[in-house]
Amino acid sequence: MERNHHDVIVVGGGISGCFAAATAATAGLDVVQLERKPREQGGFIACGDAIKSPRDPQKYPGPIDMDAIADDESVLVDNNIDQIEYRDEQLGVRKILPYETGSNVVDRYEFGQRLLEQAAEHGVTQHYDTVVNEVTQNGRVTGVKAVRDGDPVSYEGSVVIDAAGAQSILQDMIEFETLETPSDPTFEVPHYTHFGSAYREIIETDEPVEYQNAIVGKPLEELGYIWYFPRTPTQINVGLGFQMNKPPIPLVDRLRRDVESRPEYGGATVAERFGTANKLGSAIALRRPLDSMVAPGYLATGGAAGTTHPITGKGIRGAAYSGYSAGRAAIEAIEDGDVSEAGLWEHNRWLYRDHGEAAKLASWDAYNVAASALEVNVLRALTALLPETELREIVGTSTEVESLSAKLLVGTGILKNFVAEYRRDTFDALGVSLGALSDAVLTVRKTRDYVGTYQKQYEAYPADPSTFDRWRADRDRIDQGFYDALELSPSEYKY
Ligand SMILES: Cc1cc2nc3c(=O)[nH]c(=O)nc-3n(C[C@H](O)[C@H](O)[C@H](O)COP(=O)(O)OP(=O)(O)OC[C@H]3O[C@@H](n4cnc5c(N)ncnc54)[C@H](O)[C@@H]3O)c2cc1C
């Protein structure tokens, strides 16, 4: 068997893999990046392709030159998306939320290709057609085994960075309980109900769509949504996803049914890539980022670490900054000669405390828990009535509803909308009683309070693993308080 030795082994040629690999290589480390796809298919990934503020170095830190990518016309980052639309066509509801400037729907394949090119330019060795099928460990994770171009090959290194995406196969293979940690391992493999299943097609229309400056979402019959994200006025990323704690939806058929019912898609065809229809599906993390993203010799990043928005499923940005964080932590640990759990802890600390986005994602997950607890029709009625400011916060485009008086207005705003805007029989059609709606309003209020409580807890994330157990026990108590406040039965607990 061919044997390779590198300082850092990055598994995955997606966004987080490229950010991690480029960051580590910039410090002069010997980095290999392993990707199961062939070179020309790298970056060909199931995604809605919506990306926010690609030029913002806080959102996309590290050596990857996002300005160059944003300037690249084949990636199509031309800042033309300036609003999110929520539609519930059955209820005649259309809400328009402003979106951050510098946002767009990219050609995800071209974006992925540019990232891989840049990682290579920073000195990363890339092995394509390389399927990782085993992890080696000896007190710590020491490397991986793979099949490369049909031949077995092994890779040994100081640190393995798991950038293999949501439901990473590496996490199934590692025996975390046998790794050397001072107490129980801090890393826990997520449950399958913490993921969503999503599918998308790229379709081409004859005429420009009217919502060419908007990303559009509308509810499904189960917890989840259908989206129309225009890459160009005539090329639309259409897709849908649902969370796996709910009954499955036949995604392909459901999407077809929707597309065929829309006049603007009459005569539309599915675009081609690599000589076949451009249709892809995949898993998506819909949970809070992992409590700990490290184990001895091992760092998880991107989808594999749950750095995805727990309501919208958007994870490009989380993959970028968590990839950077993993590369950065690997550099420090290798320089210090300590790749233990404590030596790699900086990855957790930086993401939760210094950078802070992981703390926000973790606290927003309370909305996911609350949404799962509500009947879909109640949720639809509630969303129809939510003031735009509150909706904006939940989908993560604004945090402006901060003050106590604003919080109180949320419930009042919903009821005012109910009286002013929508006829009672619309809600009767959904089978939603006023009582159920009032309970749901109360749920939103309680959830908002818990979002704040979680945020404070995550901002106090432990600086090293020695106090992690205590911190997690405190966080678990917050979970319990939240579940009790929502009157959930144990079978409904998310964690
Ligand atoms: C249908 C869908 C729509 C989405 N829409 C959006 C959106 O509009 N905006 C947004 O921001 N986010 C969206 N997301 C989420 C976003 O795509 C992910 O969060 C992001 O791609 C995660 O990046 P990653 O680098 O962690 O993992 P991935 O992009 O999944 O990359 C993982 C890589 O690892 C490789 N790999 C996996 N296993 C192995 C192995 N055993 N050996 C070798 N290589 C391996 C894979 O081939 C892949 O290239 C969507 C996700 C889905 C599924």
Compute, in angstroms, the gap from residue 418 CA to the centroid of ligand 1: 39
Residues 479 and 410 in one domain: yes
DSSP per residue over 215-226, as a string?
EEEEE-SSSEEE
Most confident range (mean pLDDT) of 2-6, 43-47, 158-162 is: 158-162
Closest ligand 1 atom to residue 146 Cα is: 42
314 within ligand 1 shell (Cβ under 6 A): yes
Q: Is the pLDDT of residue 163 over 60?
A: yes
Res 54 pLDDT > 70: yes
Are residues 365 and 427 both part of a single domain? yes
Give the C-alpha separation, 3 to 157, whole Å.
Answer: 11
For ligand 1, the distance from its centroid to the CA atom of residue 174, given in whole angstroms, is: 20
Asked if residue 407 and residue 332 are part of one domain, the reply reads: no
Same domain flag for 42 and 142: yes
User: Which alpha helices (H) appear in 374-433, and where do they start and end?
Assistant: 376-385, 388-394, 404-421, 424-430
Q: Is residue 429's pLDDT more than 90? A: no
Please check whether residues 377 and 474 belong to one and the same domain: yes
Mark whether 11 and 42 lie in a shared domain: yes
pLDDT surpasses 50 at 144: yes
Angle between helices 434-459 and 376-385 (to 10 degrees): 80
Question: pLDDT tens digit string along 95-138?
Answer: 898 887 778 899 999 999 999 999 999 999 999 999 999 999 99
Residue 295 to residue 293: CA distance in whole angstroms: 7
Tell me the C-alpha distance between 377 and 375, whole Å: 6
Q: Give the number of the atom of ligand 1 that is nearest the alpha carbon of residue 318.
A: 19
Closest by CA position to 487, among listed 426, 455, 440, 452: 440
How many Å is the maximal CA-CA distance in the chain? 72
- Residue 291 — φ and ψ, nearest 5°? -55, -45
Q: Does the structure show a pLDDT above 80 at 247? A: yes
Q: For the chain, how many structural domains are there in total?
A: 3
pLDDT digits (tens, 9 = 90+) for 341-354: 999 999 999 999 99
- Which domain covers residue 85, as residue numbers? 81-101+193-284
Q: Residue 404: which pLDDT band, with cuts at 50, 70 and 90?
A: very low
What pLDDT, in 10s, does the model give residues 178-229?
A: 999 988 999 999 999 999 999 999 999 999 999 999 999 999 988 889 999 9
Ligand 1 atom nearest to 130, measured from its CA: 43
Confidence of residue 411 (pLDDT cuts 50, 70, 90): very low
Tell which one of 47, 134, 309, 325 to mutate to probe ligand 1, the residue whose CB is within 8 A of the most ligand atoms. 47
> For residue 408, what pLDDT is reported?
43
Compute, in angstroms, the gap from residue 316 CA to the centroid of ligand 1: 8
Task: Report pLDDT for 407.
Answer: 45
Position 239: which residue type? G
Q: What is the pLDDT of residue 442?
A: 87
Is the CB of residue 315 below 6 angstroms from any atom belonging to ligand 1? Answer: yes
- If asked whether residues 246 and 326 sit together in one domain, one would say no
Query: Is a pLDDT exceeding 50 seen at residue 237?
Result: yes
Is there a single domain that holds both residue 259 and residue 328?
A: no
- Are 206 and 160 within one domain? no
Nearest CA to ligand 1 atom 30: 165
Residue 37: what are its φ and ψ, rounded to 5°? -85, 160
DSSP helix/strand/coil, 111: helix
63-98 per-position pLDDT tens digit? 999 999 999 999 987 778 999 899 998 888 888 988
The end-to-end CA distance of the chain, in Å, is 42
Q: Same domain, yes or no, for 128 and 202?
A: no
- pLDDT over 90, % of the chain: 75
* Among candidate residues 358, 377, 392, the one where a domain is terminated: 358
The span from the CA of 183 to the CA of 87, in Å, is 49
For residue 402, pLDDT over 50 is answered with: no
Q: The domain spanning residue 216 has which CATH number?
A: 3.30.9.10
383-394: average pLDDT: 76
**Same domain (yes/no): 176, 292:** yes
Mean pLDDT of 134-144: 98
What is the share, in percent, of the chain residues with pLDDT greater than 70? Answer: 93
Ligand 1 atom at minimum distance from 196 CA: 53
Which residues touch 472 (CB under 8 Å, ≥6 apart)? 291
Amino acid occupying residue 67: D
Whether residue 339 is found in the same domain as residue 256: no
CATH of the domain at 21: 3.50.50.60
The pLDDT value recorded for residue 426 is 62
- Domain ends where: 223, 258, 284? 284
